[in-house]
A and B are shown apart, each in its own frame.
Chain A
Amino acid sequence: MDKFESFQGVAAPMPLVNIDTDMIIPKQFLKTIKRSGLGVNLFAEMRYDDDGNEIADFVLNQPAYRGAEILVAGDNFGCGSSREHAPWAIKDFGIKCVIAPSFADIFFNNCFKNGILPIALPQEQVDILMRDAERGSNARITVNLENQVLTTSEGETISFEVDPFRKHCLLEGLDDIGLTMERAPAIDAFEAQAAQARPWV
């Protein structure tokens, strides 16, 4: 996984609440056996009409937001299915950071596994960033994970929380499996003990 570096980017506003994983990546695109190439299908049913033409007023089709690297959204973003195709599509489109008042649990976890930073902030702060995002491509928001600070295009700073372990993994681009493999002796010991305590498992 690539290391997560600080960046300044265009933020796309999506003020809708309960944006679910079926919206983010509709099921017809889950039939792939690969992780790549899903960016073109991100938000497909909101983004394209029945004939596959772009719907002009959808935010990511507007010239200002075609290169968005940040998404600012409403409450409970990513609710629904566990499909990791949702963060794969977001990442493949080029979005590296999603900001919302709250996230669904599985989607939130999946983001970190794919080098995406999900940031939960109080509604008032999301509102500030949403207004900034609505100003288009001239308003670029800065994401600094190291210092845990967002800076609006007007220089206003908003600090955010992130789990220290996940922050470390994002910054270093660490692979979870490799880290856990280092704990193999502890897993072996657990299995031996569990085989005694609960042999029916």
Chain B
Amino acid sequence: MTGKTLYDKIWDAHLVHAAEDGTSLLYIDRHLVHEVTSPQAFEGLRMANRPVRAPEKTIAVPDHNVPTTEGRDKVIENEDSRIQVEALDKNARDFGINYYPVSDVRQGIVHIVGPEQGWTLPGMTVVCGDSHTATHGAFGALAHGIGTSEVEHVLATQTLIQSKSKNMKVEITGKLAPGVTAKDITLSVIGQTGTAGGTGYVIEYCGEAIRSLSMEGRMTVCNMAIEGGARAGLIAPDETTFEYVKGRPHAPKGAQWEAAMEWWKTLYSDDDAHWDKVVTIRGEDIAPVVTWGTSPEDVLPITDVVPAPESFKGGKVDAAKRALDYMGLKAGQKLSEIEIDTVFIGSCTNGRIEDLRAAAAILKGKKIKDGMRAMVVPGSGLVRAQAEEEGLADIFKAAGFEWRLAGCSMCLAMNPDQLSPGERCAATSNRNFEGRQGRGGRTHLMSPAMAAAAAITGHLTDVREMM
């Protein structure tokens, strides 16, 4: 008999019902909710007079819309944003679900708050009406984004109708070179497999380079599994995971901790498990990377040049032409000579304490370039507080960065933090789509250390030159 992958094991442990055609009903352990993709789902429940089936397993926090400036707990200026946040306040209250309002120091980006509070645990199924739910896969949880109809379905039934994905293994062998981070790993994988390379699969990341990552780094890797097209990304739990989880507010304690550990230690892919696709990358071959185009697959080492559209095949030729036109770049231009206007450090990809430490290490004692607009948006109120305690906030402020309150902010620019047309940004977020950070805005994705380096020099910069 063939062994099971980690995905197979979690799937089997949550199967409520399987029909002959493969359509399955999967039990959901944790449902995370935010203000943008949930109002219509709660409205649906009200219309059908349905309760939330498991409010104790449902956690809500406003993050997408909220301003990141002081005073937001008193008033949110944008009326539509205010209405959405107020709707979440009301829905959380009416349906009795766990809630972290804007005024709570624990508020932050839903994918940072969940792990921080110990809601996310190994072996769980976790969903949220947000594609970056993949983040929670770092704990060896099966976690993925869902649409609003599915949000309503989970609220009402605590289950999801699913068909099983295929298994894909992404192995990163060996060690990372200095200056290379989890962000460079995850972008490099997408660069190799393409944004549709993971479509139909759940990815398990493994190998020495992944094992060596902290939980923060693992979350960065899994966060962008969706950018590679995969339904979810997973990393098998180990001592690093258990160490992170232990003692968190909603983590099991005492005898329950022991019982949980017993099961968690079985959560790995068997040696003889079947993989439908395998990708192997040498950790030593990964360089600090940046994106040049308008898709996360448009990624190259910082030492490279903007590629010629003709070097691609099929529909990608026209897409690359369109991307260079949108980005205002020319083929052959050195990536390290691209000048930037703005730096954004934050998001569910890179808004955790380790990310802020990495950026602050580069910025310490330095100033950002004259005229540069630079902001740090911590992923949660607790990350922010910790960064202040460690002196990181002072480093950012002394360098010329704005020190903001927690939220999604300029990653998707639903709040007032936006790019103007033509404004070029070095960003630690996850999407460089046209208009993502504001209409006409130009986004280059990179690691926090690389973004900090660019803030100092005013152009995309190889961080290794500053270490």
- Residues of A with Cβ closer than 8 Å to B? 15-18, 20, 22-23, 26-28, 30-35, 45, 50, 74-76, 79-84, 87, 102-106, 109-110, 113-114, 123, 163-165, 176-177, 180-181, 183-184, 186-187, 190-191, 194, 197-201
Contact = CB atoms under 8 A, between A and B. Distances in A.
Interface stretch (B101-109, B151-159, B349-357): B151-159
B43 interface: yes
Contacts of A109: 146-147, 150
B124 A201 contact: yes
B145 interface: yes
B129 A191 contact: no
A27 B413 contact: yes
27 contacts: A18-B319, A23-B434, A30-B36, A30-B37, A30-B414, A45-B439, A50-B421, A76-B195, A76-B199, A76-B229, A80-B131, A81-B145, A84-B147, A102-B196, A104-B196, A110-B149, A163-B21, A176-B149, A177-B50, A177-B156, A180-B153, A180-B159, A187-B159, A190-B27, A197-B13, A198-B123, A201-B121
Contacts of B81: 31
B414 A27 contact: yes
Interface residues of B, number: 80
Interface stretch (B255-263, B377-385, B444-452): B255-263
A177 B48 CA distance: 10
Given A32-B80, A183-B25, A81 B414 contact: no
B26 to A, nearest CB: 10
B23 interface: yes
Given A177-B152, A183-B17, A199-B259, A26 B435 contact: yes
Nearest to B297: A18
Contact of B145 (A34, A106, A164, A201): A106
Given A16-B318, A16-B319, A74-B315, A180 B161 contact: yes
A106 to B, nearest CB: 5
B199 A105 contact: yes
Contact of A105 (B27, B39, B157, B200): B200
B124 A15 contact: no
B303 interface: no
A187 B80 contact: no
Interface in B47-79: 48, 50, 53, 57, 64-65, 78
A33 B84 contact: yes
Contacts of A187: 16, 25, 27, 53, 157-159
B23 A163 contact: yes
Nearest to A107: B147
A76 B424 CA distance: 26
Contacts of A194: 27
A201 B251 CA distance: 9
Contacts of B199: 76, 102-105
B87 A33 contact: yes
Nearest to A26: B435
Given A26-B439, A81-B431, 10 more contacts: A17-B319, A31-B83, A31-B84, A35-B148, A75-B314, A176-B161, A177-B152, A186-B25, A198-B13, A198-B123
B126 to A, nearest CB: 11
A177 B131 contact: no
A180 B263 contact: no
Given A33-B87, A45-B435, A105-B200, A181 B156 contact: yes
Contacts of A33: 39-40, 43, 83-84, 87
A31 B23 contact: no
- Scoring A23, A27, A30, A190 by chain B CB atoms within 10 A of each residue's CB, the highest score goes to A27
B252 interface: yes
A123 B315 CA distance: 10
A45 B434 contact: yes
Contacts of B148: 35, 84
Contacts of A110: 147, 149-150
A181 B156 CA distance: 8
B29 interface: yes
Nearest to A23: B434
B116 interface: no
B36 A176 contact: no
Interface string B315-331: 11011001000000000
Nearest to A32: B80
B153 A176 contact: yes
